[in-house]
Structure 1
Amino acid sequence: MLATSERVELLEHAEQLAQMVLESDIVEQYQICLYKMQTNKETQEKINRFVNLKDLYEEVQRFGKYHPDYKRVMSQIREYKREMDLDPHVAEFKLAENDLQGLLDEISMQVGGAVSKHIKVPTGNPFFQTDSHSAGCGGGGSCSCSA
């Protein structure tokens, strides 16, 4: 691949766009929430307790309801997940993460649409998937393939 002045200019614009995203309020809020979540002792205890139980959960899943600890593990995993998800720092982080993902999805749609209205941009968000911006084979049959 040859480095033409057009490619270099395109890469410079991409770097400028990335820098603008990094300097945005959304990324700043994401980093603040991530820091709060990672430094709060109680939040980390909830996350670690859930992660440690996940290993046992995966073992129980291999045997299903025939595993001797099936009911206990299934009940505990739901309880620990609920505790973790209801933690204010985890909840705030997830909201910030969704906001950042939304920004990145919007940028992807803008860039893809600037190239062609037929560009398929996998956003993972049904809000952005229209007929002209379908997700292809993973978009629920909108690509009309026979797969």
Structure 2
Amino acid sequence: MIMTYEWVQITDSAEELSEMILQSEQAEQYREAYRAVYHDKNLADEIQAFARLKDQYEEVQRFGKYHPDYKRVMKQIRVDKRRLDLNEAVAALRIAENELQDLMDQVSFILGRSVSESVKIPSSNPFFSSDSSCGGSCGTGGSCSCSA
């Protein structure tokens, strides 16, 4: 690929946009929430323990109720997840993540639409989804009106 003046302009604009996002209120709130969670040693240890439990959960799921630790792991994962979900710092981090993701979705939507109305734009927010046809695939009985 030959680097042209247009490519340099696009790269410069992308870096400028990236810097603007990094300096946004949403990014700053995310960084603060992240620090609040991961600089709390006890909470960070809880999260690591939960990650290890999730690995056990995946192992148990492979064998289902026939796994010897099935009941213990299934109960413990629900208890630990609930405890983490109710932690104010974790909840604030999730909110901050969602707000930053919404900003990224908006930027992606604007960029995609500036190229073409038919560009598919990946998004966690259905409002910014470019797929106007189905809510699922046709083969799975989605809500579309197409025929196979």
- TM-score after normalising by structure 1: 0.86
- Unaligned runs of 5+ residues in structure 1 are none
What amino acid is the match of 2:3?
A
Residues 6-35 of structure 1 show CA distances to partners (whole Å, capped at 9, x for unaligned) of: 111111111111111111111011001001
Instruction: Return the match for 1:140 from 126, 132, 136.
Output: 136
Which residue is equivalent to 2:102?
102
Count of residues in Structure 1 that have an aligned counterpart in Structure 2: 141
What amino acid is the match of 1:11?
T
1:121, CA displacement in angstroms? 0.6
Which residue is equivalent to 1:29?
29
1:145, CA displacement in angstroms? 9.5
Partners of 1:136 and 1:124 lie apart in 2 by: 17
C-alpha root-mean-square deviation of aligned residues, in Å?
A: 2.1
Q: Note the 1:1-147 alignment, pairs <5 A.
A: 1-129=1-129, 133-134=130-131, 140-141=136-137
Residues 58-89 of structure 1 show CA distances to partners (whole Å, capped at 9, x for unaligned) of: 22212210112211110111101111111111
Residues 81-123 of structure 1 show CA distances to partners (whole Å, capped at 9, x for unaligned) of: 1111111111100100000000000000000101111111111
**Identity between Structure 1 and Structure 2 (%):** 47
